[in-house]
Structure 1
Amino acid sequence: MPSLILSRASETDIDELLDPLYAAFKGNDLRTMFFGHDTPASRASAKARIAASMKKGGQNVWLKVIEKETGKVISGSWWMIYPNWVPSEGFTETAAAKVSIDYLEGDDRYMGEAMLKDWMMRRARYMYSHSHLLLALLFTDPTYQKCGAGSMQVQWGTTLADQLFVPMYIEGTPTGHHLYAKNGAADLEKVRFEIKNPRDLKEIWINEYTMMRREPCKSAIEREKRARK
């Protein structure tokens, strides 16, 4: 097993984060919805948007996992942390229904926006209005999956959620569902969203995931009991 180092990512790490991100979600319409196709233009757009989220600070935290021997970034995650919920016009189902994207064009944009609106409205329904922690994204280079990189980051999040006494939400893909369940997250809703290309009905984008919620441990004793399960 490789030696892994977990730390916070910065703007200088974004290019290295994009390699495992695009590789982990290869062939997944979710990746196209959020980050576009794996092209230089899409990567440039993704880099700018990730940098903007880092600059906002506040609720946005990006983590990276490095293989110690090579210094290579093999995994990463994006967390949104809301220790206190402040009502805002931007955090409503109505606002979620108006989201748009500019890094896709034509039919791809039509399908991407439809998928994103459903995603954001569901997020608003479950999470908006109360304090919480959200694992917005977790990815690991396929070559290094099942080496512990994902577990390190999830456990970082569960520890923080317990310290803040807030629930943790996860939009778990089928690949990651077992990891999240193992760390105490329970299913709220299994989601399967499909959108057809209006000009080519044979082309269908599919977004399949499970909305999950983990309740915070109320004490160190409870956390220890959960870890032993």
Structure 2
Amino acid sequence: MATASTLEMEPATLEDVETITEVWFSAFTDPSMRRLFPDTPGFRQWLTDANRSDMINKPFQKYLKVVDTASTDEKGRPRIVSYAKWDTATLEERGRRYPPWHADSPADECEAFFIEMEKVRRQIMGDTRHYYLDMLGTHPDYRKRGAGSMLVKWGCDLADREGVAAYVDASSNGAPLYERFGFVGNSASNPMLDGIVTPMVRK
């Protein structure tokens, strides 16, 4: 069993993108998300390629990982147990969040869902400068052991140093973690998002 002393946070690298995909699919098993992000070989490759492209082309997106130094993967490296993607750009600077959808996904449904998420974010935040926790996933074996907290704290500390707010579209399971760091659920909502994500803001 991992302890706090065996978990370390590091910048994620291009060598990590395939493992990041594995962590994502182990972390997000809710039927509503699995419908948008189907667990097929083609879609897994699409997600891997999307993260690789972002790492290369979008330096304002900060990828972080937590590794367990007491456990190794098949290549003998410390096992990646959690990862996060903090976006420090504005919506205009970031551009499109995902590339064109893979054929295995319901493209029209995916497009509508993420458009609504960004619409709600604009409604809530307006012109307020903020950093966006785009993604945080933790392998089920490592939940409630501090990995997620390390990744959330990194972004909150950065936001505090630079005097900006923070925003996350939280799952029901993730909301308690964000609340501990000062995120507050917002009443602004949309029927398409209800029960899937909750907008949360840290002033």
Once the two structures are superposed, the pairs formed by residues 72-151 of structure 1 within 5 Å of their partners are 72-82=79-89, 88=92, 101-105=100-104, 108-127=106-125, 129-151=127-149
Change (3 A) 1:124 1:209: same
Equivalent residue, structure 1, for 2:27: 24
Q: Which has the higher strand share?
A: 1
Contact 1:62/1:79 (<8 A) preserved: yes
Contact 1:187/1:213 (<8 A) preserved: yes
Query: Comparing both chains, which one has the higher relative contact order based on Cα–Cα distances under 8 Å and sequence gaps of 6 or more?
Result: 2
Normalising by structure 2, we get a TM-score of 0.84
Q: Give 1:158 deviation, angstroms.
A: 1.0
Change (3 A) 1:88 1:179: closer
Once the two structures are superposed, the pairs formed by residues 183-198 of structure 1 within 5 Å of their partners are 183-189=181-187, 191=189, 193-194=191-192
Q: Give 1:190 deviation, angstroms.
A: 6.2
| Aligned residues between the structures | 194
Q: Give 1:122 deviation, angstroms.
A: 1.6
Residue type of the partner of 1:136?
D
Runs of 4+ in 1 over 4 A off after TM superposition: 87-91
Contact 1:131/1:166 (<8 A) preserved: yes
Counterpart Cα distance in 2 of 1:186 and 1:27: 23
Counterpart Cα distance in 2 of 1:75 and 1:190: 29
1:15 and 2:18 equivalent?
A: yes
Question: Which runs of 5 or more structure 2 residues have no equivalent in the other structure?
Answer: 72-77
Residue type of the partner of 2:176?
H
Q: Give 1:19 deviation, angstroms.
A: 1.2
Counterpart Cα distance in 1 of 2:94 and 2:181: 31
Change (3 A) 1:51 1:90: closer
Could you tell which deviates more after superposition, 18-27 or 128-137?
A: 128-137
Counterpart Cα distance in 2 of 1:57 and 1:101: 17
Equivalent residue, structure 1, for 2:75: none
Query: CA RMSD for the aligned pairs?
Result: 2.7
Contact 2:170/2:198 (<8 A) preserved: yes
Name which one, 1 or 2, has greater alpha-carbon Rg.
1
Equivalent residue, structure 2, for 1:208: 196
Identity of aligned residues (%): 25
Change (3 A) 1:52 1:128: farther
Normalising by structure 1, we get a TM-score of 0.75
Contact 1:188/1:210 (<8 A) preserved: yes
Question: Which runs of 5 or more structure 1 residues have no equivalent in the other structure?
Answer: 196-205, 216-229
Counterpart Cα distance in 2 of 1:187 and 1:180: 9
